[in-house]
Chains A and B, each alone.
Chain A
Amino acid sequence: MEPIRDLYQQVLLEHYKHPHNYGHLEHPTHQADGDNPLCGDHIHLELQVENDTIVDVKFSGMGCAISKASASIMTQVIKGKSIEEVKQLADLFYQIVKGETDVPEAPSSDLEELFIFSGVHDFPTRVKCATLAWHTLENALKQS
């Protein structure tokens, strides 16, 4: 595949055009803002955490296709997961975008979409776009 098509895969474009979990929560327990000054990406993330589990999550903000799709996919993946699991997922995601982990033949279906970001490591200037949502998530979880 051309690198550009590998980066902007159909799934990514779908999430960009129609992001999931976009908006605000009634009663977030955690929230954080993230900025990527290079791109001007801005994300606001709201979480509802109960018993160390992320029961709901929404994000808002403006950004490029990569940052927005990444945020959309992240919110899908983390919903219902424990904070511990989510932290491991963040580490996995960082490895994916840096090209430090192989794309499995058949990733478990709920993680599958994380691997569409494996194309990002060919675009070093865009790695920060992909990781913005995850860094913001970690910052949000640091508050208690």
Chain B
Amino acid sequence: MNPEVAATVDLDVHSIRADFPILNVQPYGQHLAYFDNAATTQKPQVVIDTLTQFYEQFNSNVHRGVHYLSQHATEAYEKSREIVRRFLNARSTAEIVFVRGTTEALNLLATTFGKLLQPGDEILISMMEHHSNLVPWQILAKEKDLKLKYIPITETGELDLDTFERLLSDRTRVVSVVHASNSLGTVNPIEKIIELAHQNDIPVIIDGAQAVAHISVDVQSLDADFYVFSGHKIYGPTGIGVLYGKERWLDRLPPYQAGGDMIKRVTLEETTYNVLPYKFEAGTPNIAGAVGLGVALEYVQNIGLSKIARYEMQLLEYATRAVEEIPGLRIIGTADQKIGVLSFVMDYTHPHDIGTILDQAGVAIRAGHHCTQPVMDFFGVEGTARASFAVYNTPEEIDQMVKALWQVYQLFGQ
């Protein structure tokens, strides 16, 4: 390992890498440097095994059967909810709703919150939101004649908090912001945002999709009203995610989808809704996925989130210094507080050409607008190339990427 990084690492990356079978894939016969972790992370063997084991030994529906298998499936599903509760330090498992992912959680919130809002009410989000925390509110605002306002961003890719304060009005009904930006890497000061919103009695939704794998979250000390994330970005399966909501808020919101499991009693005239969190879990959930997510969270906690974060910061600093040497390369997103996301443009190459050249060198990055077109517009770029780091990445892989970036320079920049 690169001595510079190795000197300060207290994490055995080689044994961690051995937990991830996919890292043995060799694209075009080369070592795979997987730097598309902000899109989705790879899965450790324990998570893969959990899914198989579930279908081999526990598979059955939850909360519905009196039989042996159903009891075991229900237990595993509910145990996972408890793991999530502890992971977020929520007060109660009633506040942990399993959903399909961040997108579904945000749509659930926009739709159900929407039922409580009146024409002229205001929703405040930021300019750095992922489309999934923007489009649902835009649709809602059109439908119900609400005002959608945006917290602006600065040249370094940080939220402009002074303007945020001024945008809070007596018509603001909800604030929804991203904890860590997927296209810039910025970690937003959500404590401050929540505090300011609460001074005006406004509830706050936090999109934690990019944050949870890198920052430990305590929803009680943050005093977040809602916190949502996807399992697949924290080494868990796809198709499972979490909506945390304070009990009193989840009580106030109407149900989202209707069907089985979310009801207590149905007659032909009316329905009594089930208790939390089941009121928001209509239909058969992704049971295996939920169980797999619990195992993924335990995997992360066994390594230690703060250790992971420190390691990733070293990778980010190492990569940042190396790419800054390349002529015509500009980093987009230079906030003080960042997760391991390195977004950049090269002024003589389109991001997709960078992506293709890196791919041929075995390096997987993302190129494009990253579902944050307003951010791209703000920085005046069509898209960026983005390398995003996870616990299993190494400094050698960064060298592999940097070498390919020099090749881009040779092809296009000279």
Q: Which residues of A contact B (CB under 8 A)?
A: 2-4, 7-8, 13, 16-17, 38-40, 62-66, 68, 123, 125-126, 129
Residues in A with CB closer than 8 Å to B412 are 8, 13, 16-17, 65
Measured between C-beta atoms, what is the minimum distance from B374 to chain A in Å?
Answer: 14
Chain B residues within 8 Å of A, Cβ to Cβ: 348-353, 356-357, 360, 367-369, 382-383, 407, 411-412
Nearest-CB distance from B327 to chain A (Å)?
Answer: 16
In the complex the two chains form, is B411's CB within 8 Å of A13's CB?
Answer: yes
Task: With a 10 A CB-CB cut-off, give which of B349, B353, B382, B407 has the most chain A CB atoms.
Answer: B353
Known: A13-B412, A40-B383, A63-B350. A4 touches B368 (CB 8 A): no
When distances are taken between beta carbons in the complex, the residues of chain A under 8 Å from B348 are 17
CB <8 Å contact, A8 and B353: yes
Is there an interface contact between B368 and A7, defined as CB atoms closer than 8 Å? no
Residue among A16, A38, A63, A126 making CB contact with B356, cutoff 8 Å: A126
Among the listed B352, B357, B367, B383, which residue makes an inter-chain contact with A4, where contact means beta carbons less than 8 Å apart? B357
Residues of B near A66 (CB, < 8 A) are: 353
Instruction: State in angstroms the CA–CA spacing of A17 and B413 once bound together.
Output: 10
Contacts of B352 on A, CB cut-off 8 Å?
39, 64, 126, 129
Give CA–CA (A2, B357) in the complex, Å.
11
Find out whether the CB atom of A65 lies under 8 angstroms from the CB atom of B382: no
Min C-beta distance of A91 to chain B, whole Å: 25
Determine the residue in chain B with the shortest Cβ distance to A126. B356
B369 — which chain A residues lie within 8 A by C-beta?
40
* Contact between A64 and B350, CB atoms less than 8 A apart: yes
Which one of A3, A8, A123 contacts B411 once the chains associate, using CB atoms below 8 Å? A8
Chain A contacts of B351 at CB under 8 A? 64
Q: Roughly how many angstroms separate A37 CA and B353 CA in the complex, as a whole number?
A: 15
B360 touches A4 (CB 8 A): yes
Chain A: CB-nearest residue to B411: A8
Q: Chain A contacts of B383 at CB under 8 A?
A: 39-40
Nearest residue in A to B404 (C-beta to C-beta)? A4
Q: Which 4 A-B pairs have the closest CB atoms?
A: A64-B350, A64-B352, A4-B360, A39-B352
CB distance from B370 to the nearest CB of A (A): 11
Q: How far is the CA of A63 from the CA of B412 in the complex (A)?
A: 14
State the Cβ distance, B242 to closest chain A Cβ, in Å: 29
Q: Find chain A residues with CB under 8 A from B353 CB.
A: 8, 64-66
CA distance A144 to B279 in the complex (A): 56
| Complex Cα spacing A65 to B350, Å | 7
CB of B382 within 8 A of CB of A123, answer no
Q: State the CA gap A8–B352 with chains docked (Å).
A: 13
B136 to chain A: closest CB distance in Å?
A: 19
Contacts of B382 in A (CB 8 A): 40, 62
> Residues of B contacting A16 with CB < 8 Å?
412
Distance in Å: Cβ of B137 to nearest Cβ of chain A: 22
Report the Cα distance A17→B351, complex, angstroms. Answer: 15
| Most chain B beta-carbon contacts within 10 A, residue among A13, A17, A39 | A39
Question: With the chains together, A129 CA to B368 CA distance in Å?
Answer: 13
* Distance of B345 from chain A, by nearest CB (Å): 12
Report A97 CB to chain B, min CB distance, Å.
14
Please give me the residue from chain B that is nearest to A64 by CB atom.
Answer: B350
* 17 CB-based A-B contacts, threshold 8 Å: A4-B356, A4-B357, A4-B360, A7-B356, A13-B412, A39-B368, A40-B369, A40-B382, A40-B383, A64-B351, A64-B352, A64-B353, A65-B353, A66-B353, A123-B356, A125-B356, A126-B356
